[in-house]
Structure 1
Amino acid sequence: MNLGRIGTAMITPFKKDGTINYPELERIINHLINNGTDCIVACGTTSENPTMSTEEKIEVVRFTVEKVAGRVPVIAGTGDNETAYSIDMTHKAEENGADGIMLVAPYYNKPNQRGIYAHFETIAKETKLPVMLYNVPGRTGINVAFETSVALSKISNIAWIKEASGNLDQMGDIIENVAQEDDFLVYSGDDGLTLPLLAIGGAGVISVASHVVGNDMQLMMRAFEQGEHKLAAKIHRALLPLVRALFAQPNPSPVKYAMTKLGFDTLDVRLPMMEMTNEEKAAFDAIWDTYQTKMEAIRENQPV
């Protein structure tokens, strides 16, 4: 299955009372598909997955599959630090029509590499769906070593990894050592490393920034693929301050605020996340405005 260049780790919109705003979620789904998203990841980190009940997670995946209606693949985040629970959620995602699943490394428990391997292997063997591994040591407290990722790539339905270690050397080692490069693809879990990862053979990015700049990111990636490396680098440099701003406060508060600038009702977050302060919003606004100016000039002067 082809996930394309950009998968968006989709936010979950909430109403003031804390319940999920499904009409707004449908608007977000359509916006993403129309603005550079090649696949949607539902119930990942950016969805505020840890604050959602089991029933909510199941329903968000079902709803997303229904509203996407086959236009792009839907990957369901079913990973947990309890292997048995991950299996249960994977079965639910399969029943509700997800095209694949994403499994975060088992957080908090801090297993060794044998335990990490066994966790992923056990879940993968319980489903026919293709599997995306998700390595994000800044959140889980453990790093999936490249040797473990390479070993897991030999399992037939483990097809991708979202690498959010920030370690390009590790990503390069994975790409270099998988048996068939096309059979196991490496996606960046950090927006700011999208272009550097492409340069060493990566497939793309599982993105947060694509909520608001998906088309610009596609422009950058097309430029790179067409050999317009100076243009790709220029867009990359324009994107970097905005990417940093989107993570200057805990994710997803900044991207939820950014989406309000496009007319979406997405400001509300669930505790322990907090809405950005007025000062933080003003700082973001300044970077947003500068970005718009830079990208307007790039689009006008160097179309792809």
Structure 2
Amino acid sequence: MTLFHVLILAIIQGLAELLPVSSSAHVILAEKLMGFDPSAPDMTFLLVMLHTGTMFAVIVYFWKSWKKTYFSSWESFKKQALFIIVATGITGVLGLTLQAIIKHVFFGGASNFEIEQLFSNTKLMATALAAAGILIILSSRLDKGQTGEITLGRASMIGAVQALCLPFRGFSRSGATISTSLFLGISRQKAEEFSFALAVVLTPAVIAKEFYRLIHTQSLQHTQISQLMVPSLAGMIFSFIAGLVALKWLSAWLEHGRWYLFGIYCLVFAGVVLLLG
């Protein structure tokens, strides 16, 4: 894998991660087209590093609005923190339960099963993309510019939907959580802020998991891990820049009622994945 390959994947990741079109589906397909194995530990590690770059882009982009919403007072911080903790906790419990069900029902409880094995299944990825596209289009049609706020019940439902994004690459996390918020009558701005606040909380756990997986895998030596760090760090920087561009794009389309266009794109891209997969 060359630095050029990393640059291509970083730009794709940075743009697609923060747009509701599933970065994983785009990156995995790009990896396949370039002859890489998306389920390989080194590629998974690179993907996590690219996710780290976009996480920092989210923090930089939303910091000013989060200060007004989440850090305006101690009471506001406690209330919003509770919503985020509850949503993330539900995501974790349901996500792990779903992975256990997949392992025992579809893989016979194999001890060596890892959820990353699903990432190479293009049919499953295309189905998840199509489902996300339909969800986005429906939420856009039902969105009448509501002004609702996040509540504990709504945060719980958003967290439950977010759990579906963990095992199914293609089911866009931002697309699913923002769409669910719109279905629940939450304002567009609040939906966007809450969705990406959840992303910032969830991403470090994913990074830690993949670091553990990479270090303990038998297919990579410590010297190889060191060799991965430089191109991965470069990719993180590129994905950070691309992520800032993507967030401005998403905010503009969401605010001006063009949210449904992302759904149409997901449906089209699902067909592309099937065709090229």
Structure 2 length as normaliser, TM-score? 0.31
Identify, as 1 or 2, the structure richer in helix.
2
Structure 1 length as normaliser, TM-score? 0.29
Identify, as 1 or 2, the structure richer in strand.
1
Choose between structure 1 and 2 for higher RCO, CA contacts under 8 A separated by at least 6 residues: 2
